Structure 1
Amino acid sequence: MKALALIPLFLFVLACGRPQEIRHGSSLGGSGDISGFSAVEGVEYTGLTYQGQEKSCFAQNPNNTMCTQVESESLKFAKSCHEYGNLAIQCDCHDWICVQK
């Protein structure tokens, strides 16, 4: 009986215990798709915002969040960052930073 009680705990640790690679692009869709780059969940990244300020954040997993598909200044900045060969990290729905490679 005690062993059965440990099964949910084991499954929780198994699901949450490993860093997960996050691939951006699939949630953005349309012609403005930013695909082909990834971030690691649980890793803190430091980069510049579209306003030129340094910021640190943990990459958001787009599979766990519902965001509106608004063409924001920050999203345009992320696309430009990616086009120049850098890593665009999504911190929140409409909040991106650019990490230089």
Structure 2
Amino acid sequence: MIEFRTADPTDAEDMAEVQNAIYRAGLRANPVDVALITERYLDVEHTVACTVADRDGRIVGFQSVKRAWPGNPYDVPAGWGIIGTHIHGCVQ
């Protein structure tokens, strides 16, 4: 069963693995590390919510919702929403 809950810093390694699985599948330009996950999803002052999909203690996906700020790395106009949804390719 999958449980949805708020992400916390202990999820960073599993969240990185989700994005790196997407990278290995050729669907993401660059791999990530725990530092980038922490910076982009867990320590962001503009975060509205970051939710993980936890299947029996393993993070199989996550979604981040934040409010765009001037100069954000996604090129989204300030004040708009930024939504990132990431699902591990091995979820069955």
The alignment's TM-score, normalised by the length of structure 1, stands at: 0.31
Larger relative contact order (Cα-Cα within 8 Å, sequence gap ≥ 6):
2
Higher strand share: 2
The alignment's TM-score, normalised by the length of structure 2, stands at: 0.32
